[in-house]
């Protein structure tokens, strides 16, 4: 019988907290992480709001000299990984280091460092560009730095599939564990795109909310009056293990990572397929991978970005996958609180699914006021809800038509 793959540790840095406990309490309370941009002067930009990580001090997680040589996204990756490893109690030794993998994904990588170096090169010339720029901007920097930090010598890389990066990275780790290639993995994602270039670029695509004056009700996933996403940042990392290895060392097992599905829309570079066909196929694939029936699904953490096209397409995808039963499944978007952390959100939302299963509480979709006839499912509006869940799905759909779905099962 094949080993089950289980989650034994979790760590995060995000707009709602600097650890899992604080973040979960904020989500259940319906707290918003959105506020004015403080990381830079938004000046001429049409978007002045974001969901920033607050009060992060990299020196708490690494040497100050090393912190200066690491991009913000790498600092976040180390912080989340340290919490996850400490939470799991997994000790990296010379004996097991080659049997542990690191798959910490990022859609974009070190955008802060890239933007700063571009300006420096333009204003002061190439000799003023930092010699540390390449390791600071490369998308695999979070994974590589974590491997160095903890002495992990197994497979180490980053998956880049836009806003599905985190989910695809975790799914890839799942498959590597299932084949016996490794016994454990640090798997998750990190993103820090709140820069003037990042905000301007996503706004030019037409994806961003511009409610700068009164942001108290934005973003509004699935609401008729939604006007776009709010950019977030952060990291989330899981410790995944083969069940036999976890039980052998007496680890606390939080949940089973039961299934993974991934598809491509092959439709448009930014817009999802309007019928949600790719998303529906990924959901069915994840359920098949988990050997689960439709009736087992008790909660879906939606991609739910609050863009008009995405929310409608995702609603149709869920209906296509589940038929009439879609109306019985609670669906919520925690991006209504964290903002859209791009590639990292899919990893954080697995953490929320694990806690929802363990504690029997569904996170709400806050800011929900006016139903949209095209979005007519149960979106757990505004308040957390008690529920007994045996299986949850986490949807992550990215630009380019990437669809990734993870299935998380209660561990019994």
Peptide bond into 219 cis (omega under 30): yes
Picking from 233, 245, 228, the residue whose alpha carbon sits closest to that of residue 111 is 233
Query: Of 112, 273, 340, 402, which residue is the catalytic one?
Result: 340
Alpha-carbon torsion angle 273, 351, 14, 223, nearest 10? 40
Q: Which of 303, 353, 375, 402 is catalytic?
A: 303
Catalytic residue among 112, 156, 163, 375: 163
Beta bridge pairs of residue 362: 385
Q: Which two tokens stand for residue 303?
A: 């991609």
CB-side neighbour CA atoms (13 Å) of 342? 27
Give the whole-angstrom CA distance, residue 255 versus residue 356: 11
Written as six digits, the tokens of 46 are 């049409």
Q: Retrieve residue 98's tokens.
A: 């080659």
Secondary structure class of 7 (helix, strand, coil):
strand
Residues 49 and 36 sit within 8 Å (Cβ to Cβ): yes
Rounded Cα distance, 178 and 297, in Å? 22
Structure tokens that stand for 131 in this block: 């010699």
Rounded CA separation 49/13 (Å): 19
Q: At what angle do helices 20-28 and 345-359 cross, to 10 degrees?
A: 70
Taking CA atoms, 62 is separated from 87, 134, 241, 333, in Å, by: 18, 20, 26, 33
A 10 A CB-CB count for 80 gives: 35
Give the tokens for residue 362: 């569904």
Phi-psi region at 61: left, alpha or beta (left = phi > 0; alpha = psi -120 to 50): alpha
Q: Is 303 a catalytic residue?
A: yes
Whether 48 is a known active-site residue: answer: no
Q: Which residues pair with 383 in a beta bridge?
A: none
Pairwise CA distance, residues 352 & 141, whole Å:
25
The answer to whether 156 is a known catalytic residue is no
- Could you give the CA distance from residue 65 to residue 146 in angstroms, rounded to a whole number? 16
Which residues does 93 contact at the CB level (< 8 Å), separation at least 6? none
> Residues near 391 by Cβ (< 8 Å), separated by ≥ 6?
258, 290, 292, 296, 297, 298, 407, 408, 409, 410
What are the catalytic residues? 163, 303, 340
């Amino acid at each position: 019988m094949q080993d089950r793959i289980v989650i034994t540790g979790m760590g995060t840095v995000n707009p709602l907290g600097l650890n899992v406990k604080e973040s979960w309490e904020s989500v259940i309370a319906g707290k918003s992480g959105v506020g004015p941009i403080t990381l830079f002067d938004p000046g001429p930009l049409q978007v002045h709001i974001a969901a920033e990580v607050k009060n992060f001090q990299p020196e708490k997680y690494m040497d100050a000299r090393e912190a200066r040589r690491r991009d913000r996204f790498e600092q976040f990756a180390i912080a989340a990984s340290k919490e996850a490893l400490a939470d799991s109690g997994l000790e990296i030794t010379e004996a097991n280091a080659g049997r542990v993998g690191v798959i910490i994904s990022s859609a974009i990588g070190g955008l802060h460092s890239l933007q700063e170096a571009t300006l420096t090169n333009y204003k002061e010339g190439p000799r003023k560009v930092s010699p540390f720029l390449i390791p600071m901007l490369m998308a695999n920097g979070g994974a590589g730095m974590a491997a160095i930090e903890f002495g992990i010598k197994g497979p180490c890389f980053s998956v880049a599939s836009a806003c599905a990066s985190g989910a695809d990275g975790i799914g890839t780790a799942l498959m590597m564990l299932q084949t016996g290639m490794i016994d454990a993995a640090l798997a998750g994602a990190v993103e820090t795109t709140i820069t003037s270039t990042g905000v301007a670029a996503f706004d030019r695509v037409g994806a961003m909310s511009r409610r700068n004056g009164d942001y108290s009700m934005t973003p509004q996933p699935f609401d008729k009056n939604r006007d776009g996403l709010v950019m977030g940042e952060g990291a989330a990392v899981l410790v995944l293990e083969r069940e036999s290895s976890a039980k052998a060392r007496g680890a606390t097992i939080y949940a089973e990572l039961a299934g993974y599905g991934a598809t491509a829309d092959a439709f448009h570079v930014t817009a999802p397929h309007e019928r949600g066909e790719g998303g529906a196929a990924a959901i069915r694939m994840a359920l098949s991978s988990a050997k689960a029936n439709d009736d087992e699904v008790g909660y879906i953490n939606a991609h739910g970005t609050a863009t008009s096209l995405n929310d409608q397409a995702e609603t149709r995808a869920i209906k296509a996958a589940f038929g009439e039963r879609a109306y019985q499944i609670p669906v919520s978007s925690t991006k209504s609180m964290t903002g859209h952390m791009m590639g990292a959100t899919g990893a954080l939302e697995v953490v929320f699914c694990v806690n929802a299963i363990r504690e029997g509480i569904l996170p709400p979709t806050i800011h929900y006021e006016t139903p949209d006839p095209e979005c007519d499912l149960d979106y757990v509006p505004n308040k957390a809800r008690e529920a007994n869940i045996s299986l949850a799905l986490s949807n992550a759909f990215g630009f380019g038509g990437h669809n990734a779905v993870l299935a998380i099962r209660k561990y019994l």
